[in-house]
Homo-oligomer: A and B are copies of this chain.
Amino acid sequence: MAKGASLSGFPEWLPEERVVEQQAIDTLRRIFELNGFLGIETRAVEQGSSLLKKGETSKEIYLLSRLQEVGQENDTPVEDRLGLHFDLTVPLSRYVVENSGALTFPFKRWQIQKVWRGERPQEGRFREFIQADIDVVGNGDLPEHYEVELPLVMVNAMESLRAFGLPKATVHANNRKLSEGFYRGIGLTDIEGVLREIDKLDKIGAGEVGRLLVETCGASAEQANACLRLAELSAFTGEELTHRFDDLCNECSVDANSDAYRLAHEGLSTLAMIVDESAKIRPGSVIADLKIARGLDYYTGSVYETFLDGAESLGSICSGGRYDNLASQGSRKYPGVGLSIGLSRLVSYMLHGAHAQASRISPASVLIAVWNEEDRGDSNRIARELRARGISTDVSPKAVKLGKQIRYADHLGIPYVWFPATADAEESVKNIVTGEQLPARTVSWSPDSVYAQQTVQCGGDNH
């Protein structure tokens, strides 16, 4: 983070760090567009009523008030005030409903934008950060195959970020129907409550979760134990998953003819398809992991979380799931499935965990020297001619001693310095990295390809 980032939770990067973030954004956008997603941008604000409707994060909202209205804010109920969005899913569902007549469904969209969480300042928690989302939203219905394909697009996206120092990512998938079916099958009814407690497993451990299941969800010790055993199940193939699940159902006396068991198997079959299809394409990229619960209450089918090998302490860096009831218009429903990357946290890891860095600070490949201020026009002309050929070019700020001009290029990582012709010498260009100096003409010179573009290099062990 830029040293001076003076406001806790609001990350700001130095220019050379921003290059890493910008190129990560460019990379994600490229992957999303390769996969046929349409880019949109929604406004940063939503009505309080939309923000308060859904999700665990709805408590962490920044509300807005116009300076002119200070002192009268509370005349307006929170529902009617404007607030900053805390994710890109709530805005998407509003956008889809508002524009349903103009969109082609299923609507596949990508969106990379800042979101805000109005939390108390806290070490390591961002209050402003960038999310990178993909979602597919159907009109009325949405084919199940998107629940397989979307996590794979994200696997692809995260693979492409390994060039920035990210370790291998593994998507952990579960299915709400599977969980609900099982819980009902063993006689529990407070499904949301059980999911909420199971979601705490990584934080507080099985013993404590078991206690909470008994205390707050009306579970017997045996039922609580069954929930914890379900959460322990994981599998890399559909067959393994089905076997283990049915064994557990057997042991817990779940009636294989019950509606609950049928619901569980509906979820199971989607989940099995996800791990089997992903194994064909990228073995090991997606695992069925039945402890994944996701705090947000709007998920209705598949749920996903993603962890980085060796950087599990970062928590899930890409999460999402299927939501059938988030957006509706009268009786018309817009079911969706989507995943969201918490990009700012990843960039922070790239910079400080993986030591990713820009190959240079300036986008310019070459600095044009200025012999004296009267001749600045010559240097500007050379710059214009190179820029017209697509070569990013800077011109020396001052006609000071040549050593000082070269130092300016060096500070910015600009690899070449161009010397305009003088009475004594023809035009030439010097590579200040290698020291090589050669005659050059603006109509034909190009930087060596390794110096043509700003790139991101990775100094970490994970590369």
Contact = CB atoms under 8 A, between A and B. Distances in A.
Contact of A118 (B33, B67, B367, B395): B67
B143 A397 contact: yes
Contact of A101 (B3, B40, B280, B361): B3
Contact of A384 (B7, B94, B281, B397): B281
Contacts of A397: 106, 143
A155 B165 CA distance: 39
B277 A14 contact: no
A39 interface: yes
A403 interface: no
Given A36-B394, A38-B363, A363-B33, A99 B60 contact: no
A446 B98 CA distance: 37
A203 B380 CA distance: 38
A425 interface: no
A335 interface: no
A59 B68 contact: yes
A387 B35 contact: yes
A211 interface: no
Interface residues of A, number: 94
Given A99-B3, A392-B36, A64 B64 contact: yes
Contact of A74 (B13, B71, B394): B71
A98 B6 contact: yes
A65 interface: yes
Contacts of A168: none
Given A3-B101, A99-B2, A106-B397, A118 B36 contact: no
Interface of A: 2-7, 10-15, 18-19, 21-22, 33-45, 47, 59-68, 70-71, 73-74, 78, 82-84, 94-95, 97-99, 101-104, 106, 108-109, 114, 116, 118-120, 128, 143, 145, 149, 277, 280-281, 361-364, 367, 373, 376-377, 380, 384, 387, 390-395, 397-398, 408, 411-412
